[in-house]
Amino acid sequence: MEFIKIEHFQHFDDETVFYAEVSGLPENIQVAARRMDGAEYDPKGFGVCVGYDGATGKLSVSRDRDPATGENGNLYYVDKDGDYRWFEAEITEELTKRIFAACGKILAKERPSALDRLAAAKDAAAAAEKPPAPKTKKLDAEL
């Protein structure tokens, strides 16, 4: 899949939700969407929803439940009736990074304080990945 653009976003009190348009979907997902909409199928109707949590300063790919199937998914298709239909798809780390970078640019412009929170969250995540420093014991020895 390829990231096209942030189609739109919504700010809430301490949260922002981004809707990222994507292309190059797996064939089985395109076929399912075509079955839903027939002649009104929109190949540009696919996206990934990303949430920014102002309390934690983190971005994350959202998941939701498809109202028709009850299945959870991380990729949406907006059908001919304007309903969000959810599918499960592999979202690569590279795709996630591109989408998050675009979200970060919007946050920098719209909510500058969010950049500090994003940086702090990134630093905390990097620190959590580092192995702990070896513990040393103090040895008391008399000579």
Check if the beta carbon of residue 38 is closer than 8 Å to that of residue 81: no
Asked, for residue 138, whether it belongs to a domain, the answer is no
CA distances from 47 to 76, 97, 133 (A): 5, 15, 42
Asked, for residue 94, whether it belongs to a domain, the answer is yes
Domain span holding position 27: 2-112
Asked, for residue 74, whether it belongs to a domain, the answer is yes
Asked, for residue 84, whether it belongs to a domain, the answer is yes
pLDDT in tens, 14-70: 899 999 999 999 999 999 999 999 999 999 999 999 999 988 889 999 999 998 889
Check if the beta carbon of residue 99 is closer than 8 Å to that of residue 48: yes
Residue 57: Cβ within 10 Å count: 20
Asked, for residue 120, whether it belongs to a domain, the answer is no
For the record, the structure tokens of 9 come out as 């976003």
Average pLDDT, the chain: 86
CA distance 20 to 22: 6
CA distance 79 to 35: 10
Check if the beta carbon of residue 3 is closer than 8 Å to that of residue 46: no
Structural domain total, the chain: 1
Check if the beta carbon of residue 85 is closer than 8 Å to that of residue 39: no
For the record, the structure tokens of 71 come out as 């299945």
Check if the beta carbon of residue 52 is closer than 8 Å to that of residue 16: yes
Going by C-alpha positions, the residue among 23, 5, 7, 1 that lies closest to residue 99 is 5
Asked, for residue 55, whether it belongs to a domain, the answer is yes
pLDDT in tens, 79-111: 999 999 999 999 999 999 999 999 999 998 887
